[in-house]
Structure 1
Amino acid sequence: MTSSVALVINTYQQAHFLAASIESGLTQTVSFDDIIVVDDGSTDDPASVVARYPGVRLITQPNAGLAAARNTGLKASTSTYIVFLDADDLLMPNAVFLGLASHALNPLAGLVYGAHRRVGRRGEPLGGKVYSEIGVDAFRTLLTGNAIGMHATVMYDRQKLRDIGGFDASLPRCEDYDVYFRMAAKYPIHSHPEIVALYRWHGQNMSGDPSAMLKWVLLINDRQRAHTANTLLLEDERLLGRRVWVRYYKDEIVSDLKSGYRSRIALLSFARSLRFGKIAALEMGRWFIHRVRTHIRTPGKIAFP
């Protein structure tokens, strides 16, 4: 394994987590060739944390969002492969080794990924391994859900990521899901079942607003219509994927309401649930209309749910 690998750690107001994420990158069984921290306009002094680690580079920029911060790191790196880590998350010591091994077995892949596990604020386990295999048709698999799940499990071929345009800075959420689709449309995606990252759940994660997440994940789904509109099976699966996401975030919104009821954020949780209900109702109507049209075009072949 002679290929070079870079780690980009993006941070925004998370200096209290940053040291642990840097150290998880420094304690790999196969070392990163470059570690870059991108400070996206923080006011909590991440520079003082990075200064403790000689060889770790710091790039600062005005606040521009997660996707823009990742693009900054992508442009600054020159490695063969690249991994992106949020400052509040952690890598397992074998992450680089397993990513390189998977790329070696799949040299045409645009990205490879592994499993992850969710942990709490202090690193305590919150569940078992989370892993879904991508299958032989990655694009089709992604239509009905995000099989990859956690971005830090991914090791990209850096040049292929640049070739597809990197991350869409217009997306405030779900920019990784958007990249997966664009990568799958052009290059193979492969996976392995070993845990390579820990997703720290601390109650202030960007994914903690289910209604906002649903809004943006459905926008990413909308974008795929350019690839699915002329294929009945793919279009059917794209719209099925919208129902899958509504069901997934329904559970999240119920959990959000329960926790909000017990705390001081009950009003916020209720507002999120109203936004979710509006989106969900529109999606159910969209799905019903699609099934009616499909039944008319192919009577007797497609049953109503």
Structure 2
Amino acid sequence: MVQISVILPVYNGVSTITDTINSVLGQTFQEFELIVIDDGSTDDTVSVIETIKDDRLRIHQFENAGQGESRNRGAALAQGEYLSFIDADDLWTPDKLESQWQALQTHPQAAVAYSWTDHIDENNQFFRAGPHLTFSGDVYKKLIISDFVGSGSNVLIRKAAFDEVGGFAPHLTPAEDWDLWVRLAARYEFVVVPQVHILYRTLTTSSSFNLAKMEASSVQVMERIFAQAPPELQGLSQLCRGHRYKYLTYKALDLTPQRQRARAAFRFLALALWYDLSLWRRRVIWKVLLRATIAVVFPRTWVISLLKQQPKPFDIEALLFHIRFEV
């Protein structure tokens, strides 16, 4: 009997798809189906998937429509009472589904279970820890302030709740995860499983993260949030925008430094400081300014060498941890 439907959208994921699928098929919880949505891949992704023989695995091919639509397509095909999504380059620990399913059995009033996330590199090696927060129950206000869930590979959702709120909004990619969590939290409780179950892949040699697209979709999500939020939560707008621009600042300067992305970081930081005045008191802003400045002024190879030799003065991790959830 299928209890959980796992949805795996993939587009040209030949290099990681086998590891991702194996991390799903290796779950201790066995009553699931794995629905792979091929989003118009042009490489050998489908051929690779077809070499994996497991009765729980089904492949459906569509023309390219993006991740949000692919997730919705998978959900429409799902037979399970619960839905979980995993991106084609992420991994799960073996007890992910079992732990989250048990959490929802223990907390029948909750519609969403989430766990903690850590980051891995191209070689599946630990890269850095994610934020390990423990919010449960009514988390609507906290999710307005900031997306603490972290990624679409995290949650287990009751399918009835997913259907009721309308699923993912494909036009909001890549911020469609946050939009869905907020809409779910407006109606349902969440429950945390305080263990690392999601291994989010960070490509340490790449800067493919589309800053312009993420900023545009984030702005749209924030507009939707406050168009629907009750009057008593409208005052969170400044804080919400401040935190989002901190995140964008971090992403602009994370990993491989590039001159154009560093220039964007100056603008993002200015907006973060405008919206969140408390950030002026944080020493990390000087590290942000230093990291952005060297990326703009000096050759990239020199910057990479400097960051390897002297990482501490340029460490901007603290930018992500200065998030005030209590106001």
Q: Tell me whether the two structures share a fold, i.e. TM-score over 0.5.
A: yes
Instruction: Indicate how the Cα distance of structure 1 residues 203 and 39 shifts in structure 2: closer, same or farther if over 3 A, else same.
Output: farther
Is this contact kept in 1: 2:36–2:59, CA < 8 A?
Answer: yes
Distance in 2 (CA, whole Å) between partners of 1:166 and 1:252 is: 26
Residue among 237, 245, 260 paired with 2:257: 260
Instruction: Indicate how the Cα distance of structure 1 residues 62 and 10 shifts in structure 2: closer, same or farther if over 3 A, else same.
Output: same
Distance in 1 (CA, whole Å) between partners of 2:127 and 2:39 is: 29
Distance in 2 (CA, whole Å) between partners of 1:62 and 1:204 is: 29
Alignment of 1:82-231 (within 5 A): 82-128=83-129, 130-203=131-204, 208-228=209-229, 230-231=231-232
Per-residue Cα deviation, 1:65-112 (whole angstroms, up to 9, x for no partner): 100000010001110111101110011100111011111111122211
Distance in 1 (CA, whole Å) between partners of 2:130 and 2:217 is: 26
Q: Percent of aligned pairs with the same residue?
A: 23
Instruction: Find the counterpart in structure 1 of residue 250 from structure 2.
Output: 251
Is this contact kept in 1: 2:2–2:31, CA < 8 A?
Answer: no
TM-score by length of 1: 0.82
* Unaligned runs of at least 5 residues, structure 1: 289-305
Q: What SS is found at the alignment partner of 1:93? A: coil
Per-residue Cα deviation, 1:168-198 (whole angstroms, up to 9, x for no partner): 1212211110100110111111111111111
Distance in 2 (CA, whole Å) between partners of 1:152 and 1:176 is: 10
Distance in 1 (CA, whole Å) between partners of 2:184 and 2:28 is: 28
TM-score by length of 2: 0.77
Is this contact kept in 1: 2:18–2:49, CA < 8 A?
Answer: yes
Deviation at 1:269, TM superposition (A): 2.6
CA RMSD of aligned residues (A): 2.4
Distance in 2 (CA, whole Å) between partners of 1:229 and 1:280 is: 29
Instruction: Indicate how the Cα distance of structure 1 residues 204 and 143 shifts in structure 2: closer, same or farther if over 3 A, else same.
Output: farther
Distance in 2 (CA, whole Å) between partners of 1:183 and 1:207 is: 29
Instruction: Find the counterpart in structure 2 of residue 18 from structure 1.
Output: 17
Q: What SS is found at the alignment partner of 2:104? A: helix
The one-letter code matched in structure 2 to 1:168 is A
Moved more, 247-256 or 95-104: 247-256
Moved more, 60-69 or 49-58: 49-58
Aligned residue pairs total 275
Distance in 1 (CA, whole Å) between partners of 2:200 and 2:7 is: 16
Instruction: Indicate how the Cα distance of structure 1 residues 129 and 254 shifts in structure 2: closer, same or farther if over 3 A, else same.
Output: closer
Is this contact kept in 2: 1:215–1:279, CA < 8 A?
Answer: no
* Unaligned runs of at least 5 residues, structure 2: 278-327
Distance in 2 (CA, whole Å) between partners of 1:215 and 1:80 is: 34
Runs (4+) of structure 1 exceeding 4 A deviation are 203-207, 276-288
Instruction: Find the counterpart in structure 2 of residue 38 from structure 1.
Output: 37
Is this contact kept in 2: 1:9–1:87, CA < 8 A?
Answer: yes
Deviation at 1:47, TM superposition (A): 1.7
Distance in 2 (CA, whole Å) between partners of 1:252 and 1:129 is: 14
Q: What SS is found at the alignment partner of 1:30? A: coil
Is this contact kept in 1: 2:243–2:272, CA < 8 A?
Answer: no
Instruction: Indicate how the Cα distance of structure 1 residues 104 and 204 shifts in structure 2: closer, same or farther if over 3 A, else same.
Output: farther
Instruction: Find the counterpart in structure 2 of residue 6 from structure 1.
Output: 5
Instruction: Find the counterpart in structure 2 of residue 235 from structure 1.
Output: 234
Q: What SS is found at the alignment partner of 2:105? A: helix
Deviation at 1:279, TM superposition (A): 5.9
